[in-house]
A and B are shown apart, each in its own frame.
Chain A
Amino acid sequence: MNLDEQRRRHPRAQRYPYHTLDFPYQRDLDSYVTRRDYLRLLVFTSFGLFLGTAAIAAVARLPRQPAPPLRVAGIGDIPEGEALQFHYPTPDDPAILIHLPGGRFVAYSQLCTHLACAVLWDSGRRVLECPCHEGFFDPETGRVLAGPPPRPLPRIDLRIEGQDLIAFQEV
């Protein structure tokens, strides 16, 4: 109820200046939200939440531009059990390449899925560790081993061309 309507309904309210009607002393001068108005507000909220969810679904269906392949390093550049930082798919996206014991190479986004701190390679324990909140990731698969991160690290697919390691897509 706006103030003019409030004044019309309650002739006694005309004796008071507008600003006193915001916080009136008399109970009957106060305006209340009815259940139906509240229901209407909830339906608007419901529509907003539906729009938000639909927007996320629409964004998920957008065709994605594949990032151009990037030479990360040569096969012999990283000793076994060591890691190398690089940027992929854009120069603003930190990533980490790990030469796993056994000769396999894996690469992940370096942004922790918890609060986007940079994860680091712990060669002693052979885990990827987020030092901010003690999150640990499996270097073989990127899945969460411990701590607060809710999702695995995004994996960066690699291929070998000659003696070069090429990053070609983020999954």
Chain B
Amino acid sequence: MAARPGFDPEQRGSSGWMAVINGLLAGVIMLVILQLWLLTVALDALLAGNLAETAGLAVASGLAFLGCLGALSVARR
């Protein structure tokens, strides 16, 4: 199938690349909302005295942050 004239999906600023950026943005927004929820759960666990739960929540938040970093590295290509 011939490529549409003037359309290069690899080119930055093209509609294909913009879709990728929008997708990354949506994913990162969801990860940040997840982290906000993790923070509130961790604070609740601390106040309730469930101290063992907080470490796992911090790890999950760290993984979400790494996901955000990965998305940023893709977007900066």
Contact = CB atoms under 8 A, between A and B. Distances in A.
Interface of A: 35-36, 38-40, 42-43, 45-47, 49-50, 52-54, 56-57, 59-61, 113, 150-152, 154, 171
A61 B72 contact: no
Contacts, number: 91
Given A50-B35, A56-B42, A61-B55, A42 B61 contact: no
7 contacts: A38-B25, A42-B25, A46-B64, A50-B35, A53-B38, A57-B57, A151-B44
Main secondary structure of the interface of B (DSSP, over half): helix
Given A36-B21, A60-B54, 4 more contacts: A35-B22, A53-B58, A151-B47, A154-B49
Interface residues of B, number: 36
Given A39-B75, A47-B65, A151 B48 contact: yes
B36 A49 contact: yes
A95 B75 CA distance: 55
A53 B53 CA distance: 11
Main secondary structure of the interface of A (DSSP, over half): helix
